[in-house]
């Protein structure tokens, strides 16, 4: 099989430069940022959020260059307004009750009107990784068969331990907030693209969604591009975290695609097992055992990640990412994910403002 293209969308929180407070000022930031980044920067549901998206990339070097350029350009525009951007899944102390949905955008206004408090609480940021799969039926099959691995991906990317000034006890509290959407969560097993289209049509008919972009599954066919979009992860603190995370996802998708094409995909476990594995990953991150997608038992995180690397090694080597991703996984196991680093910042002085200060500093490469 040939190499697979990929791209990344990153969401950031907009914070006041000196206090670190979350502020609803993306409408001011967006035009400044577009002077530098054009349409690569876009608004989000809440006015304290903003998003960037890379072009299609062939390799991790390209992806890294684009992510650095986008974060630096957005940060430079923010500084002109005494603002900062923060790569964190949740804000350490500011409440969602102090923020505002962007009601000037028709889509977001409808979302707020329909979902009410659920929409207003979505002051969270994720990392969306797109992998190029041109065949719509194949994309559905790959979606089916990557589901057992979603918990491991969440544990690696988890970067949202705090909510309203307290430690939530979760490495990814963003996931707990995200799953309040009625269409969020694990996608169902589907036979082909026709079955997917039929499901979308039925959901539209009963006014559960407006279109396929309202399916907030952890992984889904993109509504805009010929890609499979992985939405499971928190936004990562560092650019190198994002690059390695996205490269591992691409390798997993490439590996599963090959298995599907050869007809040797493994049987899928019960949905409750996969959902429980995702919950456990969001709760404990890498600090406790993970559910192994190989035998569905609790295993040390290092063992489960070693299994994933071994499974994806051919794909990682094909794309030139083996050494980089292996080193990143090892470092993350030793030093912790983003949630670990946020808690370390808090432990130094017991002040959540130290946490957002470190996040804002380390967001920009």
pLDDT score for 174: 98
Query: For 51, how many CA atoms within 13 A lie in the half-sphere containing its CB?
Result: 18
**Parallel, antiparallel, or unpaired: how do β-strands 219-221 and 126-132 relate?**
unpaired
pLDDT of residue 212: 95
Return the bridge partners of 221, or none.
228
Rounded to two decimals, the pTM is 0.97
Cross-strand partners of 9: 53, 128
Q: Which domains does the chain carry?
A: 6-351 (3.30.590.20)
Q: How much of the chain is helix, strand and coil, in % rounded to 5?
A: 50, 15, 30
**CB of 46 within 8 A of CB of 123?**
yes
With a cut of 70, list the residues of the chain below it in pLDDT. none
Question: Which H helix or E strand runs over 240?
Answer: helix 239-262
Burial (CB count within 10 angstroms: exposed 0-12, middle 13-18, buried 19+), residue 201: exposed
């Amino acid at each position: 099989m040939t190499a697979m293209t990929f791209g990344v969308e990153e969401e950031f929180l907009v914070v006041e430069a000196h206090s670190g407070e979350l502020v609803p000022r993306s409408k001011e930031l967006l035009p400044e940022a577009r002077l530098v980044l054009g349409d690569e920067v876009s608004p989000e549901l809440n006015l304290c959020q903003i998003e960037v998206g890379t072009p299609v990339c062939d390799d991790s070097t390209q992806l890294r260059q684009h992510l650095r350029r986008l974060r630096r350009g957005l940060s430079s525009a923010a500084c002109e307004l005494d603002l900062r951007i923060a790569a964190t899944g949740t804000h350490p102390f500011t409440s969602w009750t102090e923020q505002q949905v962007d009601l000037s955008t028709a889509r977001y206004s409808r979302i707020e009107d329909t979902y009410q408090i659920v929409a207003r609480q979505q002051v969270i940021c994720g990392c969306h990784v797109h992998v190029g799969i041109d065949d719509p039926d194949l994309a559905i099959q790959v979606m089916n068969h990557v589901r057992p691995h979603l918990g491991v991906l969440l544990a690696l990317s988890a970067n949202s331990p705090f909510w309203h000034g307290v430690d939530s006890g979760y490495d990814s509290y963003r996931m707990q907030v995200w799953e309040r959407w009625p269409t969020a969560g694990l996608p169902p097993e589907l036979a082909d693209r026709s079955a997917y289209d039929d499901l979308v049509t039925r959901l539209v008919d009963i006014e559960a969604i407006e279109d396929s972009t309202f399916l907030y599954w952890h992984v889904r066919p993109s509504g805009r591009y010929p890609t499979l979009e992985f939405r499971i992860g928190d936004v990562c603190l560092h650019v190198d975290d994002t690059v390695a995370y996205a490269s591992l996802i691409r390798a997993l998708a490439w590996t599963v695609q090959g298995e599907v094409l050869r007809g040797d995909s493994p049987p899928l476990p019960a949905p409750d097992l996969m959902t429980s594995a995702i919950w456990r990953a969001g709760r404990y991150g890498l600090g406790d055992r993970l559910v192994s997608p190989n035998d569905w038992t609790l295993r040390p995180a290092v063992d489960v990640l070693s299994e994933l690397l071994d499974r994806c090694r051919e794909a990682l080597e094909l794309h030139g990412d083996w050494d980089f991703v292996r080193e990143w996984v090892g470092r993350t196991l030793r030093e912790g994910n983003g949630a670990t680093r946020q808690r370390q910042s808090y432990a130094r002085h017991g002040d959540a403002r130290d946490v957002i200060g470190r996040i804002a500093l380390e967001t920009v490469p």
